[in-house]
Amino acid sequence: MKALILVGGFGTRLRPLTLSVPKPLVDFANKPMVLHQIEALKEVGVTEVVLAINYQPEVMLNFLKEFESKLGIKITCSQETEPLGTAGPLALARDNLIDGSGDPFFVLNSDVISEYPFAELLKFHKSHPGEATIMVTKVDEPSKYGVVVMEEGTRKVERFVEKPKVFVGNKINAGIYLLNPSVLDRIELRPTSIEKEVFPKIAADQELYAMVLPGFWMDIGQPRDYITGLRLYLDALRKKSSSKLAIGAHIVGNVLVHETAVIGDGCLIGPDVAIGPGCVVESGVRLSRCTVMRGARVKNHACISSSIIGWHSTVGQWARVENMTILGEDVHVGDEVYSNGGVVLPHKEIKSSIMKPEIVM
């Protein structure tokens, strides 16, 4: 089986992290976002993953080559010369996706994090006569999204309603699909939207079905949702394989610590924290609802909450970093400095406090 991951965007919502690497390579829970998806696809028997990309393909491929042999899965790129939306990339990658077997293929948005129940999706897809299956997830405020209206019994999709003013349902497109090869005949090689142009036509032909996604779901393409996604992911990890989570007197709630990270005495860490490879957390540090990425150092008695600390960055002694502060790669926050929602571009040194949310160029 094959899969296509849509990784086209420039990742503007996750800047300054995406100034260093393409968005799918930004670490989430101590490994690149896209790797969570590739590993889950491999588990269900996918042998080739095609990355639909228009930005820094060589960076992506060089990085993923080492995982090809490790995971035993083929990873190729389909490069757009112009942005093709969410459907055009399927037409472009047609030859990579069709192998004559007639098998359906997976399509995923690269910034969706969930438990990826691909085996259940496969089973459901084979149980109905339609051409395509989309995964949907329940949300509390459907008026903010495009809602999928479906028959409860058959789960056949009837129509899509964009940001409904009156309640028509609470299920939205989760960005995970399983499509028969025939769907490719419906897509032209031009900039086009799978959600707005392709799926409504398949639904009108009564060929589109929806499966409700079990477990959590989050689009982690922007910092606030990234931090929420981390909480949901660690929560699910607690239920599934809690042995991967850190334990100890200094740990509160769900915390993921890479085996190569070093943590000093008298720290209080958690809840909802990921500490990456090679990180150094000195003594007396307080961390909550945050990610500390590979090679970062948090000095004595610093306090970090609701923030993302980029690769190889440093947070000084007694510094306080909070309220969605995002440090890009190699940013150095001085001792006793306060950051309230600062978004700091890579390779900067912060010597004075950031009192209100702002971008530091």
How many Å apart are CA 211 and CA 201, to the nearest integer?
Answer: 18
- Domain boundary among the residues 219, 252, 276 is at 219
Q: Is the dihedral of CA 6, 8, 12, 15 positive or negative?
A: positive
137: domain CATH number?
A: 3.90.550.10
Q: Give the total number of structural domains in the chain.
A: 2
Specify the pLDDT at position 11.
Answer: 67
Burial (CB < 10 A; 0-12, 13-18, 19+), residue 146, is middle
Q: Which of the listed residues 219, 235, 263 is the one where a domain comes to its end? A: 219
Neighbouring CB atoms inside 10 A of 197's CB total: 15
In the prediction, which pLDDT does 98 show? 82
Same domain, 130 and 274: no
Residues in the chain: 361
Q: Please, which residues have CB within 8 angstroms of residue 204's CB and are 6 or more apart in sequence?
A: none
Q: Which of 116, 112, 2, 109 is nearest to 50 (CA)?
A: 2
**182 CB contacts (<8 Å, ≥6 apart)?**
131
Q: Is residue 11 left, alpha or beta, with left meaning phi > 0 and alpha meaning psi from -120 to 50?
A: left
Asked if 260 and 243 sit in the same domain, the reply is: yes
Same domain, 350 and 322: yes
**Residues 163 and 210 grouped into a single domain:** yes
Q: Are residues 171 and 301 in the same domain?
A: no
Query: Helices 33-43 and 57-71, interaxial angle, to 10°?
Result: 40
What CATH number is attached to the domain comprising 340? 2.160.10.10
Alpha helices in the chain (DSSP H): 33-43, 57-71, 88-92, 94-97, 118-127, 199-204, 223-241
CA-CA distance, 274 to 96, in Å (whole number)?
A: 36
- pLDDT confidence of residue 79: 79
Tokens of 80: 């757009």
Answer yes or no: do 73 and 186 share one domain.
Answer: yes
Residues 59 and 176 in one domain: yes
- Using the 3D structure, point to which of 219, 250, 285 is the last residue of a domain: 219
Tell me: do 235 and 215 sit in the same domain: no
Going residue by residue through the chain (361 aa), what tens digit of pLDDT does each one get? 899 998 866 667 788 988 888 788 889 999 988 889 999 999 999 989 988 887 667 777 777 777 888 888 888 888 777 778 888 888 888 888 887 788 899 999 888 899 899 999 999 999 998 999 999 998 888 777 788 888 888 888 888 888 878 888 888 888 899 999 989 888 888 888 888 888 889 988 989 999 998 889 988 888 888 999 999 999 999 988 788 899 998 999 999 999 999 999 999 998 999 999 999 999 999 999 999 999 999 999 999 999 999 999 999 999 999 999 999 999 999 999 999 999 999 999 999 999 898 888 8
Q: Are 74 and 191 in a shared domain?
A: yes
Candidates 322, 335, 330; CA nearest to 346 is 330
Which tokens hold the place of 128?
């109905």
pLDDT at position 210 is 92
> What is the pTM (predicted TM-score) of this model?
0.88
d(CA 222, CA 311): 17
Looking at the structure, tell me whether residues 168 and 276 fall in a common domain. Answer: no
Range of the domain at 86: 2-219
Lookup: tokens for 347: 């390779």
Residue 42 is predicted with a pLDDT of 92
Closest CA to 161 of 174, 176, 142: 142
Helix, strand and coil content of the chain, in percent to the nearest 5, comes to: 25, 30, 40
Predicted local confidence at residue 56, as pLDDT: 66
Do 35 and 83 lie in one domain? The reply is: yes
Q: What angle do CA 88, 5, 81 make, to 5 degrees?
A: 45
Count CA atoms closer than 13 A to 349's CA, side-chain side: 3
For helices 33-43 and 118-127, the axis angle rounded to 10 degrees is: 50
Q: Do 182 and 262 sit in the same domain of this protein?
A: no
| Measured CA angle at 12 (ends 215, 226), to 5 deg | 25
Give the whole-angstrom CA distance, residue 22 versus residue 115: 23
